[in-house]
Amino acid sequence: MVKTKELSEDTRNPIVDLHQAGKTESAIGKQLGVKKSTVGAIIRKWKTYKTTTNLPRSGAPRKISAHGVRMITRTVRKNPRTTRGDLANDLQRAGTNVTKATISNTLRRQGLRSCSARRVPLLKPVHIQARLKFAREHLDDPEEYWENVILSDETKVELFGKNTTRRVWRKVNAELHPKNTIPTVKHGGGNIMLWGCFSSKGPGRLIRVHERMNGAMYCEILGANLLPSARAMKMKRGWVFQHDNDPKHTARATKEWLRKKHFKVLEWPSQSPDLNPIENLWRELKVRVARRQPQNITALEEICMEEWANIPATVCENLVKTYRKRLTSVIANKGYTTKY
């Protein structure tokens, strides 16, 4: 059946006017050149709703019943890794055949979207308990305590790595134009390993690690850079040093060296990079370096040093000032990895 053209309001309103004037549906239809059935439908609509304008329409009925919606919603909440194909098969066994797109639209209306799973450190029960213990023990520490902590870590910076995402404005089919691409090479084109530290006062020293680091080399790095960083950042007496549980950090020689130097070391839960604000600082550094597009390893090292020194002290201060929120998030998330 061919769908007829919808009448405009300029035609519908005169139909009502002629009806109120006492004319029959046949006469109105002949006068305005409209089918009698159409005239009757418009008059009935006017009598019922007191208007001739289009009313909100319900649209086509949902392919998936309310019960089916509850079933697939319950399934993905129980197992977020369930595929659309699996859900389609479940519905098919229940007597409903739908496409994957329909499943996506249905789940989206329930507030569920298909997203890439984030990679996070593997947490065993012992790690979760240690994280919760750390968060609860330090939750009520005053802000002044964290202001007197030096946080440290190592990171790798690649020459042509995926340190940041760049967006470009381009036309269709121009995605491979050199201006619209980011050059990459195998294995990142080389990289450098860095050790750095910071506190609420600002960045401390940043140095390049030229060889594979072991416990002995780590002690040399701390001996040459930790105290000078503490002096430069004007740390108060009794400041605390933080590092994670990397094997070279927890080696017997490292522990003995720290004990002889009388450094206070913060007990740290394993598998907890989200608890260390220096991860945010590394991200800041890598974004800044990527913007400058170094072309060789020497330039990469120089730019890293320059950009590290240019990070404002206010950035470091804010990271430390909001530390209590990290602890609160860990507790709220029952010890699992948080968004930080």
Q: Which residues contact 108 (CB under 8 A, 6 or more apart)?
A: none
Among the listed residues 187, 156, 168, the one whose alpha carbon sits nearest the alpha carbon of residue 285: 156
Residues, the chain, total? 340
Give the number of other CB atoms < 10 A from CB of residue 92: 11
What angle, 0 to 180 degrees and rounded to 10, lies between the N-to-C axes of helices 278-292 and 297-310?
A: 130
pTM of the model: 0.72
Predicted local distance difference test score (pLDDT) of residue 306: 97
Provide mean pLDDT across the span 55-79.
88
Amino acid at site 160: F
pLDDT score of 73: 93
Q: Three-state SS for 139?
A: coil
- Banded model confidence at residue 149, pLDDT cuts 50, 70, 90: very high
d(CA 48, CA 40): 12
Q: Are 9 and 45 in contact (CB under 8 A)?
A: no
From CA 71, how far away is CA 65, in angstroms rounded?
A: 10
pLDDT of residue 1: 47
Residue 256 vs residue 61, higher pLDDT: 256
Instruction: For residues 284-296, give the mean pLDDT.
Output: 92
- What does the pLDDT read at residue 188? 54
Burial of 44 (0-12, 13-18, 19+ CB in 10 A): exposed
* Average pLDDT of the segment spanning 149-161: 91
Is there a contact between 282 and 159 (Cβ–Cβ < 8 Å)? no
Q: How far apart are CA 286 and CA 302, in angstroms?
A: 13
Q: What digits encode the pLDDT tens for the residues 82-121?
A: 999 999 999 999 999 999 999 999 999 999 988 888 888 9
Q: What is the pLDDT of residue 175?
A: 74
Dump pLDDT digits (tens) for 178-226: 777 766 665 556 899 999 999 999 999 999 999 899 999 999 999 999 9
pLDDT in tens, 238-253: 999 999 999 999 999 9
| Interatomic CA distance for residues 140 and 327, integer angstroms | 10
- What pLDDT score was predicted for residue 115? 85
Give the pLDDT of residue 240.
97
Q: How many CA atoms lie within 13 A of 35 on its CB side?
A: 7
